Structure 1
Amino acid sequence: MADSQKSIFSDSYSMYGGVKQKRKKARVKLDIACEIGLSNGKGTPVTAQLTDLGTGGLSLQTTSLFYEGDVVTISFMLNKVKTFIQGTVKRIAGKTTTVIFSELPPDVHARVQEFIHKHYFDPKAKL
């Protein structure tokens, strides 16, 4: 009889429990040039590097100064389509700025979801 406490996976496989896993939505690591600017139109958008993307938020690297609570617009190319996403700066740590989305338009949500799906399930896809 099988031991109910043993995993069917090898010991090298690990899964985060609810305590460690904070995100509810999948994200992918990437390195894409983007522009970020204040949504109210003040200031000039600046160039940054998008390093992490999901349907709930993103992270980017920039030397420009943003503050928690700033509403920003980020533009970048995704699946060969110019994509614009609006969100709120959630956290800043050094050069890393984390943005959460309030709600993505359905077409942008589908494009991001397709990108994530290709990343995880289609090893031949060119991202």
Structure 2
Amino acid sequence: MVGDVVVIDASASLVDAAVTMKEANVGILPVVSGGRLRGLITDRDIIVRAIAEGADPATTLVGDCATRDLICARPDTAVGEAMEVMAECQIGRLPVVNDEDQIVGMLTLSSLALRSSDESDALHTAQQVSKRSSKAA
């Protein structure tokens, strides 16, 4: 699990999100409001949901373009269970939240593969997630 997760407030602009992504060298940011996880915004979301639709990224709020239907893990979620969820949902990142919906980490394919004792499970998860990626291309 990646523990030091850079987040952005839902009231920030898309330009702020893009700058934060560049500075942190990430393509996704958890979106928070009042300290609680409210969504996720990706570099692709900024392009597809805002710029391609003619929205002004300087005035459009992150919260307006973020994905809100979240699938999250808890700190005690087992590696195998997290990998299964990621494979079934074809997602490459899984936010980890506590009981107050505060983000405490992010599970990634690479972090799970390093912790998995079953290489075939890690490979299967990566293949399932890549199916979604190839459909989006």
Length-normalised TM-score, structure 2: 0.27
Q: Between Structure 1 and Structure 2, which shows a larger proportion of helix residues?
A: 2
If you compute each CA radius of gyration, which structure gives the higher value, 1 or 2?
A: 1
Structure number with higher relative contact order (C-alpha < 8 Å, ≥ 6 residues apart): 2
